[in-house]
Amino acid sequence: MRTERVTIEGAAFLTTLHLAGPVGLLALHGSVEGGTAELAREVAARTGATLLTFTQPTGPPRHIPSTRMSPCAPLTAFLTHTTLTVSLHGHNRRSAPRTIYVGGSHRPAARILATALADSPFTPVTALSDIPHLLRGLHPDNPVNRTRDGGVQLELPVRARTTHPVRTDPEVPPAPVVNAITVGVRVIMERLSAVAEPDEL
């Protein structure tokens, strides 16, 4: 596992990269969207997936949109090594406190994760028309879509990514969500290894 400091648009980030399996867990906004880095780390450890997290250890955290996260060395290594990405984000939609939006360009993999999340206390939404435009994760410059087979963007409400209503360090993701995403990632990995063309998932 490697840690490296990078600067993007004047903001200092600490990245943690562990190259492992062909599916990658990515948390671009670990300090802003609390619990996403910890959730990615736990799922990667359980599944043998590749891991990359970005946190901002000093100063007030800044949210840089995913499409502007420049290709720093850790992100380039991650995108080169993995074939499919599961990118974890947080949303604060007051009208959807128990909704997990399942976006990204790889819709078959999105459906696999949604099926696994259906057993959690949260409701997964996969229909792109029902996902707010800014949360769909479909832009080609979004890192979730820049691996060979694209990926899945999970937009998680606060209580799906931390068990603490008040921010703590480190955050503790809720076990049912960790378990569900772990199951989904394992299924995706099995399908990727079983078929010649990943798009047949």
- Which two three-digit tokens encode residue 73? 């060395």
Q: Are 155 and 100 in contact (CB under 8 A)?
A: yes
- Which two three-digit tokens encode residue 141? 């410059």
User: Above 60 in pLDDT, residue 50?
Assistant: yes
What interhelical angle do 175-194 and 36-47 show, nearest 10? 50
Percent of the chain with pLDDT over 70: 94
Place 29 in a pLDDT band, splitting at 50, 70 and 90: very high
113-159 per-position pLDDT tens digit: 999 999 999 999 999 999 999 999 999 999 999 999 999 999 999 99
- Count the domains in the chain: 1
pLDDT for res 47 = 98
Q: Is the dihedral of CA 197, 150, 80, 177 positive or negative?
A: negative
Q: Which domain holds residue 91?
A: 2-200
Question: Which DSSP helix (H) or strand (E) runs through 77?
Answer: helix 73-81
Round to whole Å and give the CA distance between 72 and 8.
8
Residue 25 sits in a domain of what CATH number? Answer: 3.40.630.100
pLDDT for res 170 = 73
Q: What would the mean pLDDT of 12-33 be, rounded to a whole number?
A: 96
pTM confidence score:
0.93
Place 168 in a pLDDT band, splitting at 50, 70 and 90: low
Place 70 in a pLDDT band, splitting at 50, 70 and 90: confident
Measured between alpha carbons, how far is residue 107 from residues 23, 121, 138, 160, 187 in Å? 15, 22, 11, 21, 14
